[in-house]
Amino acid sequence: MENIDEKFQKDFLSFLESSQSLTKWRPTGGPELMYIALSNESCDLDSVVSTLAIAYLRYRNPGTLHHNFMPVLNMMRRDYASKTEVRFLLAKQSITPDRHLVFRDDVPEELLLRCRFILVSHHVSPFHYCTEEVYDFRPYQCEAARLPIYCQRIMHPMRSCAALIIERYDSPIYNYVNVRCLRVFELLHAGLLLQNCNFMMDPIDQLHTVRDYQLLLYLEKHLGQLEMSQRAQLYDALINAMFDLNELTLPQILRREFRLLRANNGIHLVRVAQCCFPMAVTRFISFEFAQLAVQQFAAEHNCDFIMLLGTSVHPMGGLVVKELGLIPMDSLRDVEDRRLFDHMIINLNASIEPMLALEPYRGLNFMQGVFFFVNVWNVQFQDMMQLLQSIVFNWVSKDQNFIA
């Protein structure tokens, strides 16, 4: 195994600790700027590790102007407990929320207005106007993204955002000080594995052409080569942590991984939330206080509709959406809400990319919603986010506003 410069191990933790003090940063009148590396709103493991890793890489490769770099998890601090697999992985690396992490609500609004942004694992953001870098493996959404022309878009068709960040670590141009930190590499390794369950099953000769797998081997060149069974053990540990919801409340489960869409059709503004969790939707709504939890979530985020997405583990590995529920919060008393509700149901059933093969659950009477079993094994949360955005965008006429 190649010798690793051990000085980076403690330095990474020190960097994270010092990041918390940057929430009090004020411009001094000098040339230095504040850059925020911002994860996506879902704060999934891939996004979190990529955010920490790219912020550290930029910090250690400062250029001539020593700017400040602060990684920020795009979620409320109170919701960190719901990210069971993220907590599990970061705790293994001695990273704790109290000492090392900055959350969205830790950053004062006036600081947000003065910062430059590095968007990680997303590229549609209210901070588009001052975004200078984007790292995202998803297709570019030209209708919703309003990035400046000078913004550098690192948006290759990978399977994970971690792969994009590893390429930066492997580049003598972007990593000219040759940062090699075991903690960072282990975090990125976990992000790659969770996004690529096939790495534990596909024949080696097929994997060698996959860019994510090539970058996994780059990490293991430093961390130590792993057998397929060892990778599977690491993957299973992350999945088990993800599905360990025993200590979570129903509101925490709803907030675990969600995204908000806002659409204006010229008549009124509509807000749609997607809540994704590793539990069957039919099980969630069977709990005694499920309706109260949904109502409280909707009131807090001012939602008109809530889409519940229950995920399961594919028999061959990988996390997929298996149940879907769409709940109207006003009992469809508004004509425009009824129109959008019908539009979403029709288009979900008609979807080809991805094909959902929805089977309705009959006889379920929960908050006047509709509930479906997803009768395929290849639909992920990201697919549903893009599909819902496309459906809602189609509902909005071309000359009217849409905000994601």
- Write out pLDDT tens, residues 176-218: 999 999 999 999 999 999 998 878 776 777 788 889 999 999 9
The two structure tokens encoding residue 280 = 């069957």
| Strands 358-360 and 370-374, bridge-based pairing | antiparallel
Omega into 354 within 30° of 0, i.e. cis? yes
Residue 1 has pLDDT above 50, yes or no: no
What pLDDT is attached to residue 401?
A: 47
Q: What is the mean pLDDT of the chain?
A: 90
Among residues 335, 351, 318, 389, the alpha carbon closest in space to that of 143 is found at: 389
Q: Rounded to two decimals, what is the model's pTM?
A: 0.90
HSE on the CB side for 347, CA within 13 Å? 18
* 178: Cβ contacts below 8 Å, ≥ 6 apart: 5, 172
Residue 318 pLDDT level (bands cut at 50, 70, 90):
confident
Q: How far is CA 328 from CA 127, 215, 308, 341, 342, in A?
A: 29, 44, 11, 7, 11
Sequence spans of domains, the chain: 7-240, 250-403
pLDDT digits (tens, 9 = 90+) for 245-267: 999 999 999 999 998 888 776 66
Q: Give the pLDDT band (50/70/90) at residue 358.
A: very high
CATH architecture of 7-240: Alpha-Beta Complex (3.90)
- For residues 223 and 364, what is the distance between their CA atoms, to the nearest angstrom? 50
Beta bridge partners of 328: 305
What one-letter code names the amino acid at 221? K
Low-confidence winner among 14-18, 30-34, 90-94 (lowest mean pLDDT): 30-34
CATH value of 250-403 in 1.10.10.1150, 3.90.79.10, 3.10.310.20, 3.40.50.2300 = 3.10.310.20
